Amino acid sequence: MERKWWHDKVAYQIYPKSFMDSNGDGIGDLKGIISKLDYLKWLGVDIVWLSPIYRSPLADEGYDISDYYAIDPRFGTMQDMEELIAEAKKRDMTILMDLVVNHCSDEHEWFRRACEDPEGKYGKFFYLRDKDPDGKLPTNWRSYFGGPCWAELPGTDKLYLHVFHKKQPDLNWENPEVREEVYKNIRWWMEKGIGGFRIDAIINIKKPAVFRDYPADREDGLSTVHNMLREAEGIGEFLGEMRDKAFAPYDAFTVGEVFNEKSDELPLFIGENGYFSSMFDFSAEIYGHSEKGWFDAKRIDLDAYKNCIFGAQEKIGDIGFYSTIIENHDEPRGASRYLPDEIRCESSKKALATVYFLRRGLPFIYQGQEIGMENKKIRTVEELDDISSIDAYQVAIDAGISKEKALESLSYHSRDNARTPMQWSAGKHAGFTAGEPWLKENPCYREINVQEQEGRSDSVLAHYRKLIALRKDPAFKETLVYGDFEPVSRDAHNVIAYVRRGDGQAILVAANFNTEARQIALPADADGKPFRGGRVILSGGGSPVIEDGTLHLEGLQSAVAVLE
Ligand code: TEU
Ligand code: CA
């Protein structure tokens, strides 16, 4: 496999609105990010992905862009952005922008001009259809954020397609002019010196040749967008073109937000010369999904979690590199989702961190994950900001679910869980802002914050720092980055263990999520002889022991060991 500059890197996702506010207006900003670069460097981060900071009405918190060449004034100026890129570079770090091009904002100039002249150039930038006199919509597709995918094109007798919110009109990728606009923008940003892009919702850019209805899956008579996506063929032509015209000339690092990929598509997407450098392993995040809504989703336990991530590792093999996560700005906190209430503590958070982080792939850390931030209890629907959560609440109520149960499912699933202010200290508003935060902080900031953990060698934060250092340590890097993945004691209940095998080295990664001790038999070496011993190179607390071919782990203990 050809070596790439990003293979051995560790990435960190910033949700700018909630990361650090520099001017007391309650909204995180670019200057705030710059002020925390030393922290990220200290942690060991190389790649920093920023959720969108372009000019935007923020209807979907920046995933609705009204100018791809401007910074939203709430986040700062283009000069701040240039300073951020330069300051990151000084520290040997690189910035990823978020590429949101399935749709733009209805406040983008393209859309405005499409409204003025639907038959003209910009009408062809979108999917427009004539309004039916009887009010029948062109298709019965339900948008991701609820309601039909069609809305009136203001001032006209036409409708436009939006698979997300109605303030996010879909761009028509069949139109070569649209694609050229996208590539031009990518190149413009690459010229500014960024390292690449995280690519938003990309699987939605290809629509089926024929727009038709699908069987309704809820009382509303609508049908999930997934049905139409299943029939859309030929996305590869767009993605290959984007790679060749925009990414490849800059050797950009790109990570695709791709859901439900089929096994035979993996080599095309992230194999040698794939469309993207990498894509997220969402196997555990999509587990238990229900078309009925969040309230009906099945909750994941640790054995199911193990099956998800092991399954993905086996699917990818050495085809390429997934990017690995336990949370992001669309998901609840990983510590709350994957660790049951009864065992959620620093030891189990470190155990989860260890097994997610050291599998094959590029680790992404979402802001606050490194200190073990948790979900927040949502008490009323009024405290929600996220459009997806507000819709999910209504969906639950419409399905006859009680208010209490609906709120409970939001506390578990809501995107707002990840969007509360970053917890820097136990001070006012978690040290995020001197003003009033745009979204209320999670009360857990008093116990869980950077300041408290920075100076403590057994903190979750210290553990993340050690994990990053371990993956970069010349003594282990080759194995941890490129080595194979092989499950160990796969059937052991609440135990997640695997071995990474490189050239002449085998590293065991193991975590015991039971509260009682467990023994794990060491796997065999390359000649098929069981390993007898090993050297522990990282532990999530205490002193795990290896003797007579067995790793002994106390309850909630985790360990990484070079086998001998
Ligand atoms: O998310 C894409 C996506 O498929 C979402 O519908 C996701 O399943 C949803 O957030 C769950 O509630 C991307 C972005 O990550 C997200 O923040 C944006 O809202 C969305 O695209 C539209 O740009
Ligand atoms: Ca601010």
Q: Is residue 285 part of a domain?
A: yes
pLDDT in the model for residue 526: 87
Specify whether 257 is catalytic: yes
- Looking at the fold, whether 151 and 262 belong to one and the same domain comes out as no
Residues 490 and 345 in one domain: no
Instruction: For residue 400, tell me if it sits in a domain.
Output: no
Are residues 512 and 432 both part of a single domain? Answer: no
Check which CATH number belongs to the domain holding 503 and give it.
2.60.40.1180
The domain in which residue 127 lies consists of: 109-161
Q: Which atom of ligand 1 is nearest to the CA of 259?
A: 4
Q: Pocket of ligand 1, candidates 101, 164, 260, 394: which has the most ligand atoms within 8 Å of its Cβ, to mutate?
A: 164
- pLDDT given at position 173: 98
Coil, strand or helix: which one is 253? strand
330 and 227 assigned to the same domain: yes
Q: Are residues 317 and 350 in the same domain?
A: yes
Task: For the chain, list residues with pLDDT below 50.
Answer: none
462's tokens: 């210290």
Q: Tell whether 430 and 523 lie within a shared domain.
A: no
- 438 and 547 co-located in one domain: no
Indicate the helix (H) or strand (E) that contains 184. helix 176-191
In a domain, 468, yes or no: no
Q: Please tell me whether residues 310 and 443 are part of one structural domain.
A: yes
Task: Classify residue 171: in a domain, yes or no.
Answer: no
Q: What is the DSSP string of 368-416?
A: TGGGT--------GGG---HHHHHHHHHHHHTT--HHHHHHHHHHH-TH
CATH number of the domain to which 141 belongs: 3.90.400.10
pLDDT, tens digit (0-9, with 9 covering 90-100), for 419-446: 999 999 999 999 999 999 999 999 999 9
* Domain containing residue 56: CATH number: 3.20.20.80
142 lines ligand 1 (CB under 6 A): no
Looking at the structure of the chain, the number of domains it has is 3
Q: What is the pLDDT of residue 263?
A: 78
Please indicate, yes or no, if residue 197 is contained in any of the structural domains. yes
114 plus 98 within the same structural domain: no
Name residue, tokens 């009204």: 66
200 Cβ inside 6 Å of ligand 1: yes
Q: Which of 46, 106, 200, 554 is catalytic?
A: 200
Domain assignment of residue 407, yes or no: no
Does some domain include residue 475? no
Is 200 among the residues known to form the active site? yes
Nearest residue (by CA) to ligand 1, atom 2, is 201
Ligand 1: does its nearest atom lie under 6 Å from the Cβ of 366? no
> Is the pTM of the predicted complex or chain greater than 0.95?
yes
In a shared domain, residues 72 and 118: no
pLDDT tens digit string along 87-141? 999 999 999 999 999 999 999 999 999 999 999 999 999 999 999 999 999 999 9
What are 265-268's contacts with CB under 8 Å, separation 24+?
Answer: 266/315, 266/316, 266/319, 266/320, 267/319, 267/320, 268/236
Q: Domain for residue 209, yes or no?
A: yes
